[in-house]
């Protein structure tokens, strides 16, 4: 048994025993023991072993639907944490579809939402991923600190990447840190501390950045987490490499030079930090030595910006301001491409790399210094102006859509007060039908408010999500049968006679006509029919009037059937 498995063995035993106790109480299915073992390995931060175990199982051949769902959840979780290539959400959807319809599996439902979000994020839809993470937070038990922490950490990552605002990512990561502290889970606590420090660095809150990075460093060293140690030190080097003080530049240089020769995911980033800091320290030959190790083809856009900054700094150090401007413009073009292609994706990183402090080097003594500063200020102002304009336009659009949605909700509330009076006035209508109508309107109001809260800025996704929710809560056949009967009784068999005269009328047309016979407000008709805007009601009235062949509007048609 290897060392990692020996360390995990007590946890595995506890998890298996607790799982067995729960199963004996009849609250959950009797899961396949191999799945329980894989889950334990994941909880012990050993996803590689879990993935090997799960990959050897054919999920489709497992005997029960519960086992198949559990396998789908664990396999997605292991693949994601092992950075496997994920091209579809079909596997995690097996788990999610099962747990949505089975009570008593709240923790697994929470996890299913989390990893549906993770898969969706990998597939490139950050907004849908955010909705999944928030759904996970809404269904998680208050004591499920690990999943609450992990969901908050993923939300913070999206806020950080898309720059929703300057503090949302930090707030979410601090919530994640709190929950991981309750578990406790030192690995993810260290990761949160490190990322919070990096986020504070990105908004130039240097003291706070140092506070969290140093806390992370202490915890990482005590746990001997080599991978996180490299990342945290790289964050610290990022913080100091652009600083105005020589001492900070030397610290960043020492970190990068020490770690650059190690085989880590941060290798290229560390090599470029080493080259840049050495250039700032006027050690051009050493800087070129590190730049020679970099292969441009494998650099990300963010690292390509830093690569060009290195050459710009080398040009500045030898007084070649023409080359300095050339490389700075190349970096600027890459930044513009990032903004135009991905909008706010990693905007903090771009802004940090274009921070004016990069150009404020106290060692510059050349007579063209003011020209360089002027160019840098103009580029930065242009970049910030473009960002501000884009963000304001997007914000204005979202606010406009949100106001329209809020107005619709307000009209519905006003109409609900009117509905009470109208239902009291319909003496022939049964109390049961009145209560059903009222319940339907309340349900509709809750659906509208739910989807407006999360999707008001995306009309198409709002409409699709609302339609899916309504299909699950639509009135049944008994509801419409009662309505048609009431309309026939009040207006001389209007439904029956209309169908006899116009056989092409659909059930939906007749249901709509029966609602109109009650004289309900537009918003109440929307609630019963499942429309999410008033225009649908007006258009339906016009189409039914045409189908009935009447020259009047639908209200006039109904009045013609009124009992004398």
pLDDT digits (tens, 9 = 90+) for 485-495: 888 888 889 88
List, for the chain, all residue ranges whose pLDDT scores fall below the cut of 70: 1-29, 162-166, 335-374, 376, 397-409, 411-413, 415-418, 421, 427, 452-453, 455-459, 563-564
Question: Between the CA of residue 53 and those of 85, 116, 237, 517, what are the distances in Å?
Answer: 18, 21, 39, 63
Q: What is the pLDDT of residue 308?
A: 87
Of 465, 331, 461, which Cα lies nearest the Cα of 401? Answer: 461
pLDDT for residue 145: 94
In a domain, 397, yes or no: no
Q: Choose among 140, 157, 251: nearest CA to 195.
A: 157
Spatial contact of 134 and 156, defined as CB atoms under 8 Å apart: no
Residue 553 lies in a domain: yes
* Residue 539 is assigned to a structural domain of this protein: yes
- Please give the pLDDT value at position 343: 38
Q: Where are the beta strands (DSSP E) in 25-99?
A: none
Residue 374 is predicted with a pLDDT of 67
* Residue in the structure block whose two tokens are 């007579």: 367
Yes or no: say if 120 and 132 are a contact pair by the CB < 8 Å rule.
yes
Provide the terminal-to-terminal Cα distance of the chain, rounded to the nearest Å.
Answer: 91
Contact (Cβ atoms closer than 8 angstroms) between residue 156 and residue 195: yes
Distances from the Cα of 503 to the Cα of 488, 516, 555, angstroms: 17, 19, 20
Phi-psi sector, 112: left (phi>0), alpha (psi -120 to 50), beta:
alpha
- For tokens 């959950």, the residue is 28
The answer to whether residue 102 sits within a structural domain is no
In a domain, 535, yes or no: yes
Let me know if residue 448 belongs to a domain: yes
Helix (H, G, I), strand (E, B) or coil at 417: helix
Question: C-alpha distances in angstroms, 388 versus 339, 374, 393?
Answer: 12, 21, 9
CB-CB contact of 335 with 350 (8 Å): yes
User: Cβ(279)–Cβ(291) under 8 Å?
Assistant: no
CA distance 2 to 443: 55
Distance CA 118, CA 77 (A): 9
Q: Which two tokens stand for residue 131?
A: 């909705």
Helices 246-260 and 267-280 cross at an angle (nearest 10°) of 140
> What pLDDT, on the 0 to 100 scale, is given for residue 378?
76
The total number of structural domains in the chain stands at: 1
Measured from the Cβ of residue 471, the count of other Cβ atoms closer than 10 Å reads 9
> What number of residues does the chain have?
564
- Positive or negative, the CA dihedral 135, 136, 139, 145 is negative
| Res 398: pLDDT | 66
Q: Estimate to the nearest angstrom the gap between the alpha carbon of 120 and the chain centroid.
A: 9
Between the alpha carbon of residue 418 and those of residues 404, 405, 440, 514, the distances in Å are 21, 20, 15, 19
Backbone angles phi, psi at 562, to 5 degrees: -60, 140
Residue 19 lies in a domain: no
Whether 346 is covered by a domain: the verdict is no
Q: What is residue 348's predicted lDDT score, i.e. its pLDDT?
A: 35
CB 327 within 8 A of CB 312: yes
Provide the residue range defining the domain that includes 475.
Answer: 426-559
Kindly state the tokens that stand for 143: 């004591």
């Amino acid at each position: 048994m290897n060392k990692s498995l020996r360390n995990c063995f007590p946890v595995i035993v506890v998890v298996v025993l607790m799982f067995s106790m729960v199963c004996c109480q009849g609250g959950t299915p009797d899961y396949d023991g191999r799945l329980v073992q894989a889950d334990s390995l994941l909880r012990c931060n050993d996803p590689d072993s879990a993935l090997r175990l799960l990959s050897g199982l054919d999920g489709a051949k497992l005997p029960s639907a519960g086992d198949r769902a559990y396998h789908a959840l664990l396999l997605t979780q292991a693949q994601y944490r092992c950075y496997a290539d994920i091209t579809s959400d079909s596997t995690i959807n097996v788990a999610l579809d099962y747990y949505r319809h089975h009570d008593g599996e709240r923790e697994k439902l929470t996890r299913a939402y989390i990893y549906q979000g993770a898969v969706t994020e990998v597939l490139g839809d950050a907004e849908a991923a955010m909705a999944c993470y928030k759904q996970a937070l809404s269904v998680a038990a208050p004591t499920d600190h690990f999943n609450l922490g992990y969901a908050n950490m993923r939300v913070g990552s999206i806020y950080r990447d898309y720059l929703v605002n300057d503090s949302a990512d930090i707030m979410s990561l601090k919530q994640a840190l709190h929950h991981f502290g309750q578990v406790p889970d030192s690995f993810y606590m260290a990761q949160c501390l490190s990322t919070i420090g990096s986020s504070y660095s990105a908004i130039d809150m240097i003291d706070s950045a140092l506070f969290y990075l140093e806390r992370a460093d202490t915890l990482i060293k005590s746990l001997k987490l080599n991978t996180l140690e490299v990342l945290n030190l790289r964050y610290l080097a990022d913080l100091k490499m652009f600083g105005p003080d020589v001492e900070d530049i030397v610290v960043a240089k020492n970190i990068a030079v020490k770690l650059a020769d190690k085989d880590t995911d941060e290798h290229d980033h560390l090599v470029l930090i080493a080259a840049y800091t050495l250039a700032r320290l006027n050690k051009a030959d050493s800087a070129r030595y590190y730049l020679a190790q970099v292969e441009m083809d494998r650099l990300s856009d963010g690292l390509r910006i830093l690569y060009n900054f290195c050459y710009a700094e080398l040009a500045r150090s030898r007084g070649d301001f023409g080359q300095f401007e050339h490389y700075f413009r190349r970096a600027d073009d890459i930044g513009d491409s990032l903004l135009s292609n991905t909008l706010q994706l990693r905007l903090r990183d771009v802004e940090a790399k274009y921070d004016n402090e990069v150009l404020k080097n106290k060692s510059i003594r050349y007579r063209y210094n003011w020209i360089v500063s002027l160019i840098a200020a103009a580029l930065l102002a242009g970049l910030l102006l473009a960002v501000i304009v884009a963000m304001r336009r997007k914000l204005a659009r979202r606010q406009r859509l949100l106001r329209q949605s809020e107005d619709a909700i307000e009209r519905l509330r006003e109409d609900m007060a009117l509905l009470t009076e109208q239902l009291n006035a319909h003496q022939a209508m049964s109390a049961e039908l009145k209560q059903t109508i009222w319940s339907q309107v309340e349900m509709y109001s809750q659906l509208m408010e739910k989807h407006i809260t999360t999707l008001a800025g995306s009309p198409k996704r709002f409409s699709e999500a609302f339609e899916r929710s309504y299909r699950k809560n639509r009135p049944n056949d008994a509801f419409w049968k009662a309505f048609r009967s009431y309309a026939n009784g009040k207006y001389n068999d209007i439904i029956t006679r209309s169908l006899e005269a116009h056989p092409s009328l659909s059930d939906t047309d007749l249901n709509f006509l029966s609602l109109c016979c009650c004289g309900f407000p537009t918003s109440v008709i929307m609630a019963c029919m499942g429309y999410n805007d008033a225009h649908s009601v007006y258009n339906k009235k016009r189409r039914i009037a045409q189908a009935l062949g009447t020259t009047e509007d639908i209200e006039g048609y109904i009045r013609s059937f009124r009992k004398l």
